[in-house]
Amino acid sequence: MNQRIVLAQRPSGWVDEACFALEACAEPAVGPEDVLLESIYLSTDPYLRGRMNAGPSYAPGFALGQPIVSRVIARVIASNNAHFQVGDVVWGFLAWALRSVVPRGEGLHKIDPALGRISHAVSALGMPGLTAWVGAIEIGQPAPGDTVYVSSAAGAVGQLAGQFARRAGARVVGSAGSDDKVAYVRDRCGFDAAFNYKTTDLDQALRTHCPNGIDLYFDNVGGATLEAALRHANVGARFPVCGMISAYNEVGDAGIKGLQAVLSKRITMTGFIIYDHVHKLAAYQARVAPWLRSGELVFHEDIVQGLERAPAALIGMMKGEAIGKRLVQVAAE
Ligand SMILES: NC(=O)c1ccc[n+]([C@@H]2O[C@H](COP(=O)([O-])OP(=O)(O)OC[C@H]3O[C@@H](n4cnc5c(N)ncnc54)[C@H](OP(=O)(O)O)[C@@H]3O)[C@@H](O)[C@H]2O)c1
Q: Given a cut of 90, is residue 56 above it in pLDDT?
A: no
Domains of the chain: 2-122+299-329 (3.90.180.10), 127-275 (3.40.50.720)
Q: Which atom of ligand 1 is nearest to the CA of 156?
A: 16
The CA-to-CA distance between both ends of the chain, in Å, stands at 21
Q: Given a cut of 90, is residue 7 above it in pLDDT?
A: yes
Is residue 301 in contact with ligand 1, taking CB distance under 6 Å? no
Given pLDDT bands bounded at 50, 70 and 90, which one contains residue 279? very high
- Stronger pLDDT, 180 or 55, i.e. the higher one: 180
To test ligand 1's pocket by mutation, which of 42, 123, 220 has the most ligand atoms within 8 angstroms of CB?
A: 220
To test ligand 1's pocket by mutation, which of 47, 123, 157 has the most ligand atoms within 8 angstroms of CB?
A: 157
Average pLDDT over residues 276-297: 97
Q: State the helix-helix crossing angle for 223-232 and 202-209, rounded to 10 degrees.
A: 40
Residue 53, classified by CB atoms within 10 Å of its CB into exposed (0-12), middle (13-18) or buried (19+), is middle
Is residue 291 in contact with ligand 1, taking CB distance under 6 Å? no
Compute the distance between CA of residue 128 and CA of residue 95 in angstroms, rounded to an integer: 19
Q: Tens digit of pLDDT for each residue in 32-42?
A: 999 999 999 99
Compute the distance between CA of residue 79 and CA of residue 90 in angstroms, rounded to an integer: 13
Q: What is the pLDDT of residue 196?
A: 98
How many CA atoms does the CB half-sphere of 39 hold within 13 Å? 30
Compute the distance between CA of residue 246 and CA of residue 48 in angstroms, rounded to an integer: 14
Q: How far is CA 167 from CA 92, 160, 174, in A?
A: 31, 10, 15
Is residue 175 in contact with ligand 1, taking CB distance under 6 Å? no
The whole model's pTM is what?
0.98
Is residue 243 in contact with ligand 1, taking CB distance under 6 Å? yes
Compute the distance between CA of residue 322 and CA of residue 314 in angstroms, rounded to an integer: 10
Q: What is the pLDDT of residue 55?
A: 84
Is residue 131 in contact with ligand 1, taking CB distance under 6 Å? yes
Q: Going by C-beta distance under 8 Å and a sequence separation of 6 or more, which residues neighbour residue 302?
A: 322, 323, 324, 325, 326, 327
* Cα dihedral 66→72→74→78 (10° resolution): 30
To test ligand 1's pocket by mutation, which of 152, 163, 197, 303 has the most ligand atoms within 8 angstroms of CB?
A: 152
CA of 35 to the centre of ligand 1 (A): 33
Q: What is the pLDDT of residue 57?
A: 78
Is residue 317 in contact with ligand 1, taking CB distance under 6 Å? yes
3-state secondary structure of 102: strand
3-state secondary structure of 148: strand
Q: Which atom of ligand 1 is nearest to the CA of 326?
A: 20
Amino acid identity, position 105: G
Other beta carbons within 10 angstroms of residue 12's beta carbon come to: 10
* Local structure of residue 211 (DSSP, 8 states): T
Q: Tens digit of pLDDT for each residue in 138-175?
A: 999 999 999 999 999 999 999 999 999 999 999 999 99
Other beta carbons within 10 angstroms of residue 114's beta carbon come to: 7
- Name which of 56-60, 175-179, 265-269 the model is least confident about: 56-60
Is residue 320 in contact with ligand 1, taking CB distance under 6 Å? yes
Is residue 242 in contact with ligand 1, taking CB distance under 6 Å? yes
CA of 176 to the centre of ligand 1 (A): 10
Q: Tens digit of pLDDT for each residue in 77-133?
A: 999 999 999 999 999 999 999 999 999 999 999 999 998 999 999 999 999 999 999
Given pLDDT bands bounded at 50, 70 and 90, which one contains residue 60? confident
Compute the distance between CA of residue 308 and CA of residue 129 in angstroms, rounded to an integer: 27
Given pLDDT bands bounded at 50, 70 and 90, which one contains residue 59? confident
Q: What is the pLDDT of residue 89?
A: 98
Share of the chain above pLDDT 70, in %: 100
Q: Are 225 and 199 in contact (CB under 8 A)?
A: no
Q: What is the pLDDT of residue 41?
A: 98
Amino acid identity, position 214: I
Compute the distance between CA of residue 278 and CA of residue 326 in angstroms, rounded to an integer: 21
Pick from 263, 71, 30, 287: nearest CA to 164: 287
Q: Are 230 and 258 in contact (CB under 8 A)?
A: yes
Share of the chain above pLDDT 90, in %: 96
- Stronger pLDDT, 114 or 221, i.e. the higher one: 221
Q: Tens digit of pLDDT for each residue in 301-325?
A: 999 999 999 999 999 999 999 999 9
